[in-house]
Amino acid sequence: MPELPEIEVLVRHLAPLLKNKTIRAVVVRRANVLLPDSPAGFKRTLIGARFVGLARRGKFLLFTLRQPRTGRRFTLVGHLGMTGRMYLQPADQPLPKHAAVVFALGKSRFVYEDTRYFGRLTLDTDGVARLGPEPLSAAFTADYLRCALRRSRQQIKVKLLDQTLVAGVGNLYASEVLFRAGISPKTSACRLTSRQVSRLWRALRTVLAEAIALGSTLPLDWAGRNEWDGLFYFGRAPGTPDHYRERLRVYDRGGEPCPNCGARIKRLVQASRSTFYCPRCQRA
């Protein structure tokens, strides 16, 4: 569920559910996801602490907690990697196969599950400090983008994945944004015209904002029947409506007709990752 819109919707969903809950116990089933924290130190800090707030920065979840023993507030940083999920479930339900870290909250528990274990749940905030501006904030201006892109010869699709340029764009929305802006993914960042950068800036904001708005309209009953909610997974459970894919115009649609002009959507590999684009709407 990994890019900015999905994290934003998840944060809005979890914030009221976690607020004021106290961590009674911590179970670490995959110590690697805590790195560089150690399980012992992690537990010492978190047991007894209470959730007071939750925010998003890029693809990171920022949990604010308060430890009543010391009165200290601190931040717990979450990242879902490629396959991470976070949800509450009743404490008497069986733990999922790939539960990496579990917080006992009394009648319920907070689960961080991750099939590939690429994500993190850690007290280390270094990753957050390295992020560029939030694309939906006032600080992210077309002028900022122009200045930043002028200095780079990288292909624009690859550049959009650079979290120090702008925080939260991943492989899926990078293709979607360039399609919306009508820009070829192969264009060198510094060769984009001023007008193209403006279109790119606008597309970043509209595509991400639309994805958040669409995601917010669906219920996220993680512990219940909608555990396989199609919104957040590109691959979905059999028999589940594919809401997620329906709103993607080019991603994973190689060979299908472009929704604008009908030309065949092409797939290409950049930085060992797939890019999808319309060769007619997005000319080099």
Partner DNA sequence: CACCATGTTCCTTG
Partner DNA sequence: CCAAGGAACATGGT
Residues of the shown chain interacting with DNA in the complex, contacts defined by CB under 7 A = 1-3, 6, 32, 58-59, 79, 81-83, 97-98, 115-118, 127, 130, 152-155, 158, 161, 163, 170-172, 189, 232-235, 270-274
Q: Which of 66, 186, 245, 273 is catalytic?
A: 273
The question of whether 59 is a catalytic residue gets the answer yes
Residue 48 one-letter amino acid: G
- In whole angstroms, what is the distance from residue 268 CA to residue 275 CA? 5
Q: At its nearest, how many Å lie between DNA and the CB of residue 31?
A: 10
C-beta of 118: minimal distance to DNA in Å?
A: 4
Q: What are residue 265's phi and psi, to 5 degrees?
A: -70, 135
Q: How far apart are CA 47 and CA 70, in angstroms?
A: 12
Residue 108 or 187: which CB sits closer to DNA?
A: 187
Q: Which contacts of 10-14 are long-range, i.e. CB under 8 A and separated by 24 or more positions?
A: 10/61, 10/86, 10/220, 10/232, 11/54, 11/55, 11/56, 11/61, 12/216, 13/220, 14/54, 14/61, 14/86, 14/87, 14/88
Active-site residue, 43 included: no
How many CB atoms are closer than 10 A to CB 194? 10
Residue of 3, 8, 113, 176 marked catalytic: 3
d(Cα 272, Cα 204) in Å, to the nearest integer? 23
Q: Which is nearer to DNA, 189 or 258 (CB)?
A: 189
Q: How far is the CB of 81 from DNA (least distance, A)?
A: 5
Beta strands in the chain (DSSP E): 25-28, 50-57, 60-67, 72-79, 84-90, 99-104, 108-114, 120-122, 266-270, 273-277
2 given a catalytic annotation: yes
Q: Which is nearer to DNA, 51 or 276 (CB)?
A: 276
Exposed (0-12), middle (13-18) or buried (19+): which is 47, by Cβ within 10 Å? middle
Q: Which is nearer to DNA, 51 or 232 (CB)?
A: 232
Rounded to an integer, what distance in angstroms lies between the CA atom of residue 256 and that of residue 157?
21
User: Considering the complex, what minimum distance in angstroms separates the CB of residue 89 from DNA?
Assistant: 19
Residue 250 is classified by DSSP as S
Closest approach, Cβ 80 to DNA, in A, equals 7
Active site residue 3: yes
The answer to whether the beta carbons of residues 46 and 60 sit under 8 Å apart is: no
Q: How far apart are CA 150 and CA 165, in angstroms?
A: 12
Strand partners, 266: 277
Q: Which one, 226 or 270, has the nearer CB to DNA?
A: 270
**Catalytic hit among 56, 57, 59, 249:** 59
Judged by CB, which is closer to DNA: 64, or 270?
270
We find the least distance from the C-beta atom of residue 178 to DNA, in angstroms, to be: 14
Catalytic center residues: 2-3, 59, 273
